[in-house]
Structures are given as C-alpha cells and as structure tokens.
Amino acid sequence: MPNSKGPIIWVVEDDPPVRRYIAENLKLHGFRPMLFVSAEQAYAALGDQEPPSLIVLDMLLPGMSGVDLIRLLKQNKDWEKVPVVVVSVLTREDSPAKESPNEVGKAYWINKPFEADELIRTVHDILTVVR
C-alpha cells in the first residue's frame, strides 16, 4: 500500500509512459513521486518546494538538459546534496554528462530500458546511505 508519508521523489521525465511507469513503481514501494515534464518545470519548483529525498532525472529533455539541471542544483546550498538518479538511453560516457564530470560525477546512472526492480533497489540503496 502506498505510504502517504514516505520520502518525496521528484521524477523529471518528458516521456509520459516512462514517467507513469516510474511513478507507479515508486508509489508501490511507499514513495511519494512528484512529476515534472521538463527540467525547466522542476527548476521553477525549487523555490516553492522543500528539497525531495531524491530526484529521478532523464538526461535527454527538450530545452534544458538533465546536465543543466544537475549543474543548477549543485550551485544551490539547499539542493546540492539531493541525490540524483539519471535514467537515460545514453550511457554516462556517451552523454553530455562527460562534459560536466564535477556536477554529474556523483549522479547514479541507470540505462533505459530498465526494470522497475533496478530503479527501486537503487533508490532504496541511496536513501539508506543518505539517512
């Protein structure tokens, strides 16, 4: 049963079926997903929301990229420590992330397509270490 008091996880993904798949699986495991269709939308919410426990972020987004959002997060003292799980069809080596190793270096990486178990295990592992 979904937990209404579980950790908040931001999901920044422009593909509706993938966004829905991630959100449904997070809910099943007691997380509270907040959904964003673009990095701009998530960035605009930064000042209005308390930091989430974790962000699941697509790398290839229209407009502002996932790398750009990570860079902005790392420049903000309230958000710099929020862990990021990148979900992308690109490998870390093939992505724009290789151009920004300092900002993206600590991001966790899951390649699409992925199984829900891999995502949930990664989120659990990160949040266990962070707490």
* Tens-place pLDDT, residues 34-89: 999 999 999 999 888 878 999 999 998 999 999 899 989 888 888 888 999 999 88
Q: How many residues does the chain have?
A: 131
Angstrom distance (rounded) from CA 19 to CA 77: 28
pLDDT band at 124 (very low <50, low <70, confident <90, very high): very high
pTM score of the predicted model: 0.87
Going from N- to C-terminal start, the domains of the chain cover 8-130
Parallel, antiparallel, or unpaired for β 8-12 and 32-36? Answer: parallel
Instruction: Give yes or no for residue 103 having a pLDDT over 70.
Output: no
The alpha-carbon radius of gyration of the chain (Å, integer) is 13
Q: Which CATH architecture has domain 8-130?
A: 3-Layer(aba) Sandwich (3.40)
